[in-house]
Structure 1
Amino acid sequence: MCQKGFVEYHLIHYPDMQVTDKIKLVYQAILGPHHLLDEKSILKIKENILTELNEQSNHQENLYEWIGPNYVRVNIKKYYEIYNNIDKLVLDFYNSNTKVELDKDMLKKMMMKYIDSSNLVNYNFEPVSHSMLYKERYQPHYRLLNSKYIDLDMKVKQFDNYISNLPSKSIVALEGRCGSGKTTISNILENKYTVIHIDDFFLSEKQKETYGNKLNSNIDYDLVNNNLEKVINALKNNLPIVSIKCFDCHSQNYYEKELTLKDKIIVEGVCASSPKLSKHIDKIAYLFVDKATQTRRIEQRELKDRFFNEWIPLEEKYFTRFDIFRHCDVII
């Protein structure tokens, strides 16, 4: 995912962003927190964070916000609420302060994609503060971290925090490219939420003969929708268990699976947020993975050649056609 997608995500979710906020977003996404290198003392960093913790209100927020492929804004109050400690945040922030060469032409070119050039005439490529309106509406108190510090535990807690604040009986699609960790995260949370795997609803070989050349035709959407309707009806009637129909690709046979219904439902897998399923999906969470990490993980899988030559190109068409990243509700 290129920088454009992250900027568009922020423009949608923070509609009161002013010019200075857009400048700050692009500046941070490209250069990270290097302009804070004078804050060398770890004790001083911790002191400043603790001061900000005492200043914050009860503004509901995510654990972190991606601002680009390389950096995230970690919201310090939510971090402290979840971990009850800021020592790792302090250290990760300190280690994220690496010197990045300032390419003014590249930075200006990137900014001009989202900001009218007339607003950049007097900009001297120095760091800026958030606008007063942005501060009033969104109460930003965060630290920039290199994305390499967003480990599995933080991703699980980001997703868990997001779901836990949704209304009861919500159904959340966990989207993302193959190799991003969707199944891993869902399995970690399956004791708390009911998990439905899209991989249980592939088309049979016979069906593929008819639908195989159509976009995203690996998924039997009729089967998924029928099962989601069963789940929704069971939730409405407060039933503890529901049986859904699944498909086994190896045996090419259908089978029944019993689901223990919990307060909220996760539907995980590529195409979980397809428009063909949208009537049953309340929210979309997108699990980001960079290309290098995805490639490394897929290299370790069986059938890796089919992933690279068949399945990944197919899912890329899906993500591009439906602009899934731009329309998601949270990035994990």
Structure 2
Amino acid sequence: MKKSFLQTLNEHLKRYPLMEPQDFGKLAFQSEFGPEHMVSDGQQAESFLIEEWKALPIDNIAGILQEKQVSAEQVSESLCRFPLSICGSVDEVKLLAHLFVSTAQEHGGTVEGLEGKLEQIKNLHISGMEEWTAAWKQEGYPPVHHSRIYKEAYQPHYRLIQRQYSDYFPVLFEIYRLLQRKDPAVVAIDGRCGSGKTYLSGLIGKLFPCNICHMDDFYLPLGQRKKTGWRFRAAIWI
């Protein structure tokens, strides 16, 4: 079931009760426009992210393969805040930077969409929100930072990425590590019909330089599928 922006607002308010008007504005801005304004140079974005990650307290670095209660936070149907503390190595941070830049290139929004979200924030009756929003609108809705109170209380360190990237981060990281070896790599995705093989291979093909070979094209050509139906398991080789 799709989650409304108002539901997302309430979840963030419950988790971060000290949110100020500009924190709500930032959430609305991120939900609509994503991280496009934050990326002008991919290499620079990666360098900044690595330095920010290195500055985190060591006990905050969870590591993606360790079982810690750290998770991405939804800001819209397609976007989430992915905490830096999930990354347990520089390579994981580099992958996150790659996903962050890819998200910035893919996502876009409109002023009308932003204003629609700001209207929904009014339902929460946040003190000072109306005045802050009016001043923000006069400035042309520029990107905003978290409030000082929010930063001091919650120490936010994250990057906006597509939710689909967050869901498959461990798998994407293993493929990323294979590619760092500079040797040819073969990845097989196996599963029953409708399990998401084509979807995952599409993500991989979009993010990494690779060729995708659908095994369906070998054992069940397109022209025969309507007659035979989908009764067998399939696989995709990358």
TM-score bin, normalised by smaller chain: 0.5 to 0.7
User: Unaligned 5+ residue runs, structure 1?
Assistant: 156-178, 182-299, 301-332
Cα distance between partner residues in 1 of 2:195 and 2:25: 29
Question: 1:51 offset after TM fit, Å?
Answer: 1.1
Ranked by relative contact order (alpha carbons within 8 Å, sequence separation 6 or more), the top structure is 2
Cα distance between partner residues in 2 of 1:6 and 1:100: 19
Asked whether 1:91 is paired with 2:107, we answer no
Secondary structure of the 2:142 match is coil
Alignment match of 1:112 (pick from 116, 119, 123): 119
Amino acid at match of 2:11: Y
Equivalent residue number for residue 202 of structure 2? none
Question: 1:68 offset after TM fit, Å?
Answer: 1.4
Amino acid at match of 1:112: E
Asked whether 1:151 is paired with 2:164, we answer no
Cα distance between partner residues in 2 of 1:180 and 1:9: 30
Equivalent residue number for residue 6 of structure 1? 8
Question: 1:151 offset after TM fit, Å?
Answer: 2.9
User: Unaligned 5+ residue runs, structure 2?
Assistant: 63-68, 123-128, 172-193, 197-229, 231-238
Asked whether 1:63 is paired with 2:65, we answer no
Higher strand share: 1
CA RMSD of aligned residues (A): 3.0
| Compared CA separation, residues 119 and 180, structure 1 to 2 (3 A) | farther
Amino acid at match of 1:135: K
| Compared CA separation, residues 11 and 77, structure 1 to 2 (3 A) | same
Conserved 8 A contact 1:71-1:145: yes
Question: 1:180 offset after TM fit, Å?
Answer: 11
Conserved 8 A contact 2:53-2:85: yes
Amino acid at match of 2:78: N
Conserved 8 A contact 1:63-1:79: no
Asked whether 1:80 is paired with 2:88, we answer yes
Equivalent residue number for residue 122 of structure 1? 135
Aligned length: 158
Secondary structure of the 1:143 match is strand
Query: Superposed, which structure 2 residues align to 1:197-236 within 5 Å?
Result: none
Percent identity of paired positions between Structure 1 and Structure 2 = 24
- TM-score under structure 1 normalisation? 0.42
Conserved 8 A contact 2:46-2:98: no
Conserved 8 A contact 2:29-2:143: yes
Equivalent residue number for residue 52 of structure 2? 52
Cα distance between partner residues in 2 of 1:79 and 1:103: 32
- TM-score under structure 2 normalisation? 0.58
Higher helix share: 2
Equivalent residue number for residue 289 of structure 1? none
Max Rg structure: 1
Question: 1:79 offset after TM fit, Å?
Answer: 2.0
Secondary structure of the 2:18 match is coil
Amino acid at match of 1:15: P
Question: 1:86 offset after TM fit, Å?
Answer: 1.9
